[in-house]
């Protein structure tokens, strides 16, 4: 796995598995205070297995750093909904991809969503209806149950900074 480190941002690329060396990331995270929020970009992370997940959680325990998760693929959101230890140290998910389906074409599409921009931060999404998203003249509807898919958000509601607790921003 490749780890790219920029000021305030760490990008992961490849597979998070038993061969992944997370020590450069841990070293970088330990340079920051507990008040800092470091962004982790998952846009190029292709997969993770249980060994990689265990290593990740160990790094989170050791670092004590608050993380903002960005560009999480659908498979990772589903894993985050199962394992709450990803949200240690007041970490939170800001943007991720969600499954949608074309109303006419019935084609599947993963669309990036951002908390506070595309939908509001909430403690309960069980009654939430995601607005239809227009792309290239086609309406795409959510192809997920918000109460379950947004669980990694609602169950960590208190981890979000105050700026996320405002109403949805217009695009």
Whether the pLDDT of residue 105 is over 60: the answer is yes
Q: For residue 171, what pLDDT is reported?
A: 43
pLDDT in tens, 52-78: 988 988 998 899 999 999 999 999 999
Give the pLDDT band of residue 83 (cuts 50, 70, 90): confident
CA trace torsion 121, 90, 96, 141 (10° rounding): -30
Phi/psi region, residue 147 (left: phi>0; alpha: psi -120 to 50; beta: rest), is alpha
pLDDT of residue 34: 77
Using 50, 70 and 90 to split pLDDT, how confident is the model at 35? confident
Task: Tell whether the model's pLDDT for residue 151 goes beyond 50.
Answer: yes
In this prediction the pTM is 0.92
């Amino acid at each position: 796995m490749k780890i790219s480190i920029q000021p305030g941002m760490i990008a992961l690329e490849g597979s998070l598995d038993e061969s992944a060396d997370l020590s450069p990331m841990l070293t970088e995270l330990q340079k920051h205070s507990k008040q800092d929020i470091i962004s982790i970009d998952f846009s190029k992370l292709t997969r993770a297995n249980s060994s990689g997940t265990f290593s990740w959680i160990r790094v989170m325990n050791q670092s004590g750093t608050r993380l903002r998760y960005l560009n999480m693929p659908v498979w990772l959101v589903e894993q985050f909904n199962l394992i709450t230890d990803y949200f240690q140290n007041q970490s939170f998910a800001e943007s991720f991809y969600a499954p949608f389906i074309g109303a006419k074409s019935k084609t599947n599409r993963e669309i990036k969503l951002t908390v506070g921009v595309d939908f509001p931060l909430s403690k309960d999404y069980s009654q939430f209806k995601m607005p239809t998203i227009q792309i290239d003249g086609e309406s795409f509807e959510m192809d997920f149950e918000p109460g379950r898919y947004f669980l990694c958000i609602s169950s960590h509601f208190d981890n979000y900074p105050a700026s996320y607790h405002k109403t949805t921003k217009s695009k």
